[in-house]
């Protein structure tokens, strides 16, 4: 861990011995503080590794079998280039032996490459007409090959590495099963950006999230008194898992499903978080009826505001009121 302070130290003169003793005590305190910070940081990483792999301790002594040499951490660098990365995520990237990157933009990938000399892009596993699950499996195998070789591996993913990201979860699961240290560091996701850019507080009336295609494939109950967020709406209805977008006819099916609960003139918001600091987010207002005509990609999200008010539950309110009146 880097030192938080840097001082220019000069030898004490005979006329400054008293102040020198005082400053020496302060310096000792600072050194003890820095040592404590470094130890706490080290203990945190050790505890996280133990928790990730099921290691338990008794009196500070490991009672499990020794772990294998390789390790894996999957970090999120947020949505916007350079703006959202945490110091801990950057540290994991810089200290790794090998870095794998699946990010949102070529410029973002170049930025990651400035942090480490061995950054390997995972974008090369994508191909038009290729099943995405096959792509994800190849990513996992590439990552685990280096872990099994005894290297410290860092997987870098845009947004949050655990949100709409099969490969990071699977990589960590398999690494742990094989006896390697593996964990995930969170990042700022598109959901976080959505709340900020659209001014939504999910605590006000609630917020329900679905992958758009999942809403079509299964019978889900929609609460129209809460926000409805549909992810990957530009890819809705793709059963082949080989395409990167679907057309208006597929979005019309989505409209027909939503029309069971919402009027066709109800406003919806097409949202896309900014990935570069020079760009703003996409915030486009339209109606449910006009949604099929909209130009959308798999990066676009639908945000649908509440259409009805929340209904009080008098029976539960009465029950709680009686509890309030009863003695503790």
Catalytic residue among 136, 180, 250, 262: 136
**What is the spatial distance between Cα 56 and Cα 64, in angstroms, rounded to a whole number?**
7
Residues 11-47: b if buried by 16+ CB within 10 A, e if exposed:
eeeeeeeeebeeeeeeeeeeeeeeeeeeeeeeeebee
Where is 118: in which H helix or E strand? none
d(CA 289, CA 264): 5
- Bridge-partner residues for 99, per DSSP? 119, 154
Question: Residue 322: how many CB atoms within 10 A of its CB?
Answer: 9
Cα 219 from Cα 118, distance rounded (Å): 46
In our burial notation (b when 16+ CB lie closer than 10 A, e otherwise), range 263-289 reads eeebebbbbbbbbeeeeebbeeeeebe
146 close to 98: Cβ distance less than 8 angstroms: yes
Of 158, 180, 250, 262, catalytic: 158
Number of neighbours of residue 215 by Cβ within 10 angstroms: 19
Q: Which of 34, 90, 120, 132 is catalytic?
A: 132
Six token digits for residue 215? 């809403």
How far apart CA 13 and CA 187 sit, in angstroms, is 51
Is 158 one of the catalytic residues?
Answer: yes
The answer to whether the CB of 298 falls within 8 A of the CB of 234 is: yes
132 belongs to the catalytic site: yes
Q: What are phi and psi of 127, to 5 degrees?
A: -160, 145
d(CA 130, CA 124): 12
Question: CB–CB of 83/281 below 8 Å?
Answer: no
Catalytic annotation, residues: 132, 136, 158
């Amino acid at each position: 861990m880097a030192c938080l302070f840097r001082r220019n130290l000069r030898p004490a003169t005979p006329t400054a011995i008293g102040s020198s003793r005082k400053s020496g005590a302060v310096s000792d305190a600072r050194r003890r503080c820095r040592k404590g910070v470094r130890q706490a940081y080290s203990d945190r990483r050790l505890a996280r590794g133990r928790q990730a792999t099921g290691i338990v301790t008794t009196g500070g002594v490991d009672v499990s079998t020794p772990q294998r040499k390789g390790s894996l951490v999957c970090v999120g660098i947020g949505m916007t280039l350079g703006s959202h990365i945490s110091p801990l995520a950057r540290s994991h990237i810089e200290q790794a032996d090998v870095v794998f990157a699946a990010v949102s933009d070529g410029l973002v990938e170049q930025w990651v490459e400035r942090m480490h000399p061995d950054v390997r892009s995972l974008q090369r596993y994508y191909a038009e007409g290729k099943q995405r699950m096959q792509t994800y499996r190849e990513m996992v195998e590439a990552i685990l090959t280096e872990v099994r070789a005894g290297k410290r591996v860092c997987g870098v993913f845009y947004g949050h590495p655990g949100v709409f990201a099969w490969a990071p979860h699977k990589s960590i699961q398999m690494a742990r099963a094989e006896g390697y240290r593996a964990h995930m560091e969170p990042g700022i996701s598109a959901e976080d950006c959505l709340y900020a850019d659209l001014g939504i507080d999910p605590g006000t009336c609630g917020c329900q999230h679905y992958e758009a295609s999942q809403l079509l494939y299964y019978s889900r109950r929609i609460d129209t008194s809460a926000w409805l967020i549909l992810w990957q709406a530009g890819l809705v209805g793709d059963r082949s898992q080989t395409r990167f977008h679907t057309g208006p006819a597929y979005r019309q099916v989505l409209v027909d499903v939503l029309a069971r609960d919402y009027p066709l003139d109800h406003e919806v918001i097409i949202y896309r978080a900014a990935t570069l600091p020079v760009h703003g987010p996409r915030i486009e207002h339209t109606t449910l009826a006009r949604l099929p005509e909209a130009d959308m990609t798999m990066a676009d999200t639908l945000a649908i505001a509440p259409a009805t008010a929340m209904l009080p539950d008098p029976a539960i309110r009465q029950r709680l009121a009686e509890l309030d009146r009863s003695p503790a």
